[in-house]
Structure 1
Amino acid sequence: MMLMTFFRNKFALLAASTLFYISNALADLPAVEQPTSGGGSGTYATFKGYLRDGLTLGGLVIAAIAFIVVANAAISCFHHVRQGKATWTEFGAFVIVGAILLVVIIWLVTKASDIL
């Protein structure tokens, strides 16, 4: 019984000292950074700014995925050309259409971020 009281007192002391260390550590945290598209004029405007930044980032991720897909298709077509299963014309068509597709996607992401 006496051993249980000893551990309970040690646990209470440890918990209290941990709370003091946490409160001191939280005191020097930097302020939350405002979104790049505005904010600071209320919670709603700040949320709207974060939402706009998130949607813009989502569009950039989609553009990056499209770049990877086009590059993968071009590499695959090049491999088929090297094996004799496709022609250089097909490879050129993949590259040209892929480049146009990437330009259109990047243009659409830019326009969408301006609209938001």
Structure 2
Amino acid sequence: MAGNRIICEKNNVDYITIRKAMCQDARTKEEVREIAGVCLECDSCKTELDQILSSVCGCKDVSLEAVVNAVKHGAATVDEVGQATGAGIDCGRCKILVENVIKLGK
């Protein structure tokens, strides 16, 4: 898990704020900029946002793609996604994001 640290140095936006934006449907850098206020210009935005956006569960190293695929293949609950991918079965911090992926299907 990444822990909470500043990701956007220019606008002082931390990791948790970015993850919360993802729980509010942000899936692209532009959507994270709109919801969380990242600049997309500083070095850390350029180097870290893609990795953050592509990950759902840091404890089990589960990608967004793996969770989306589990949902597309029938996982309809957080527990079912956890069984299929491992996401949400350790610390549980990613469960809200998993619920969001189930709701949106993306």
TM-score (norm 1): 0.24
Based on CA coordinates, which of the two structures has the bigger radius of gyration? 1
TM-score (norm 2): 0.26
Structure with a larger share of its residues in strand: 2
